[in-house]
């Protein structure tokens, strides 16, 4: 259905597609993945393009680095919906929304509330949030 199988060497899209498969027809899911899933090519690029073409990706929320124990890499939350009627995508760059603590960055309630508020309003905010049209995404090679 998505043009390619997720590569064995990177299970990110296999995990995403497994969750998406089990999502009910009117369902919404959020999944935390490494930032690299937004621009890696080959099979992952084909799968990402298919998801975007079918309108399954509703939002992409970039999180700060070092907020999960055991890894310092930046992560992203991808919000997917089945049977979505639009193909635009809301991008939120929350990578600077954190409090630095000893060895870990922490999202505070105020940061989470800000992200959720922008997600619900689905509005453009300069250098923080942007609703990208499908044409704009296509122009950027689905990255």
Q: CA dihedral defined by 63, 66, 67, 71, rounded to 10 degrees?
A: 110
Q: Is residue 2 part of a domain?
A: no
Q: pLDDT digits over 48-101, tens only?
A: 999 999 999 999 999 999 998 888 888 999 999 999 999 999 999 999 999 999
In a domain, 100, yes or no: yes
In-domain check, residue 6: no
Q: Is residue 28 in some structural domain?
A: yes
**Domains held by the chain: number:** 1
Q: Are 52 and 80 in contact (CB under 8 A)?
A: no
Q: Could you list the beta-strand ranges (E) of 12-103.
A: 28-34, 57-62, 75-81, 89-93, 99-101
- pTM of this structure: 0.92
pLDDT of residue 21: 94
Domain limits at 58?
Answer: 12-139
Is residue 1 one of the residues assigned to a domain?
no
Give the C-alpha separation, 102 to 6, whole Å.
37
What pLDDT does 8 receive? 77
pLDDT in tens, 118-140: 999 999 999 999 999 999 999 99
* CATH number, position 65: 3.40.50.150
Span 25-59, pLDDT tens digits: 999 999 999 998 999 888 889 999 999 999 999 99
User: Would you say residue 3 lies in a domain?
Assistant: no
Coil, strand or helix at 100:
strand
pLDDT of 7 higher than 80: no
What is the pLDDT, as a whole number, of residue 112? 96
Q: What is the pLDDT of residue 115?
A: 97
For residue 38, being part of any structural domain is answered with yes
């Amino acid at each position: 259905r998505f043009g390619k199988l997720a590569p064995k060497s990177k299970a990110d899209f296999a995990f995403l597609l497994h969750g998406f498969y089990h999502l009910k027809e009117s369902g919404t899911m959020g999944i935390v993945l490494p930032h690299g899933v937004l621009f890696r090519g080959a099979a992952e690029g084909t799968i990402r393009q298919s998801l975007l073409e079918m309108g399954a990706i509703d939002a992409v929320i970039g999180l700060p680095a070092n907020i999960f124990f055991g890894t310092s890499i930046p992560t992203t939350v991808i919000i997917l919906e089945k049977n979505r009627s639009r193909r635009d995508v809301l991008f939120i760059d929350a990578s600077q929304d954190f409090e630095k603590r000893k060895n870990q960055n922490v999202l505070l309630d105020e940061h989470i509330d800000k992200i959720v508020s922008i997600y619900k309003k689905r509005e453009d905010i300069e250098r923080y949030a942007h609703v990208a049209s499908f044409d704009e995404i296509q122009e950027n090679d689905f990255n």
